[in-house]
Amino acid sequence: MLRKDQLDPIRLILPLPPGARNEAGQREIVLPHAFNFRDVGGYRTADGRFLRWGQVFRAGTLARLQPADHAILRPLGLRTVFDLRSQAEVARQPDRLPQPAPVYRHVPLVSYDGSISRLQTLRRYRRQMAQVLLHVYTHVVLQENAHLVGDVLRDLADPAHRPALIHCAAGKDRTGVVIALLLALLDVPEETIVAEYTLSNRHHAAILKAMQPDFRRAMVWAWIRPSHLYPISLAHPDTMRATLAYLRQTHGSAEAYALNVAGLDQATLAALRAELLE
């Protein structure tokens, strides 16, 4: 069980290491009807280069966007939107994209296990929700959906698909893993990757609200208390640290995973670095 001080989303936000640029203005892009929207540019790599601003963005759901949001998004020049939600999530709440609309890519990073199996897992580990979340990050996203993760990275290496936005329901978990892998492939230090992940805690109230439908289903069908589910709503730094450790221990490195599991080649990795670093 996590201690009380480990359940405070604000206290879990880690400061970005010195050297991360912010000269493009606020990293956070505030939209009236969306949350957890930010640019992942400006981060310093181990060899002193920086991620280019305005190339890759991340966010929570875009299902509630209105004209006021579209007016803010249009200047970003988005060419591609990657929606990582399941087919059921998309059917319930489809994206409302600005016009002219960017290319929409549905890339469902979900488990192929049946829902009964997932609920049984939740009930079995109801007092270890952090471990359930880690399982989603490592086995569901990185292992079961490696080819889809590779598809996203391959498109990001092509300037025809950028600027690009990657999002899911909360913009924390599926999106967080893909962004963390991208940063690792660009040689961003682990402390920066973990700190970037924890920035989602600024939007914890909205994330918690977005997760309520899933929480209610788990409460009804798996008999799980809301207090047991709460840790899933957090971007806890230990979860990302464990995910990055999994990549190293299981595959050797993020690059080895990309090449041997996600289906990328050296030319694509080189293009990612050439296109996204300065």
Which tokens go with 6? 């480990």
Q: What is the pLDDT of residues 214-232, one digit of tens each?
A: 777 766 665 677 777 888 8
Q: Mean pLDDT, to the nearest integer, of 81-95?
A: 95
Q: Which amino acid is at 276?
A: L
How many helices and strands (H and E) does the chain possess? 12, 5
In whole angstroms, give the CA distance from residue 96 to residue 93.
9
Write the CA distances from 53 to 21, 73, 87, integer angstroms. 9, 15, 31
The pLDDT of residue 24 is: 47
Residue 108 has phi, psi (to 5 degrees) of: -75, 105
For residue 132, what pLDDT is reported? 84
Q: Which residue has the tokens 């950028």?
A: 162
Identify the H or E element spanning 57.
Answer: strand 56-59
Average pLDDT of the chain is 90
| Peptide linkage before 100 cis (omega within 30 of 0) | yes
Across 246-260, average pLDDT:
98
Rounded to an integer, the average pLDDT of 101-126 is 73
Dihedral, 194, 163, 256, 234 alpha carbons, nearest 10: 30
**Per mean pLDDT, which range of 33-47, 106-120, 189-203 is the poorest?**
106-120
What average pLDDT does range 237-247 have in this prediction?
Answer: 97
Which pTM was predicted?
Answer: 0.93
Write down the residue that tokens 């002193």 correspond to. 48
Quote the CA–CA distance of 169 and 146 in Å, as a whole number: 20
For residue 101, pLDDT beyond 80: yes
pLDDT at 115 over 60: no
Structural domain boundaries, residue 202: 4-276
CATH number at residue 80: 3.90.190.10
- Domain total for the chain? 1
Does 117 score more than 90 pLDDT?
no
pLDDT at position 156 is 98
Asked which of 31-35, 136-140, 155-159, 228-232 is least confident by mean pLDDT, the reply is 228-232
5: exposed, middle or buried (Cβ count in 10 Å: 0-12, 13-18, 19+): exposed
Kindly report which listed range (16-20, 66-70, 88-92, 256-260) carries the lowest average pLDDT score: 16-20
What pLDDT is recorded for position 222?
59
Q: Cis omega before residue 226 (within 30°)?
A: no
Please give the structure tokens belonging to residue 113: 């296990």
**How do residues 50-79 score in pLDDT, each as one tens digit?**
999 999 999 999 999 999 999 999 999 999
Least confident residue range of 21-35, 105-119, 164-178: 105-119
Q: For residue 46, give every residue at least 6 positions away whose Cβ sits within 8 Å of its Cβ, in sequence order, or none.
A: 187, 188, 189
Sheet order of strands, 56-59 included = 38-39, 56-59, 164-167, 80-83, 103-106
Q: What is the pLDDT of residue 119?
A: 58
Q: What percent of the chain has pLDDT over 70?
A: 86
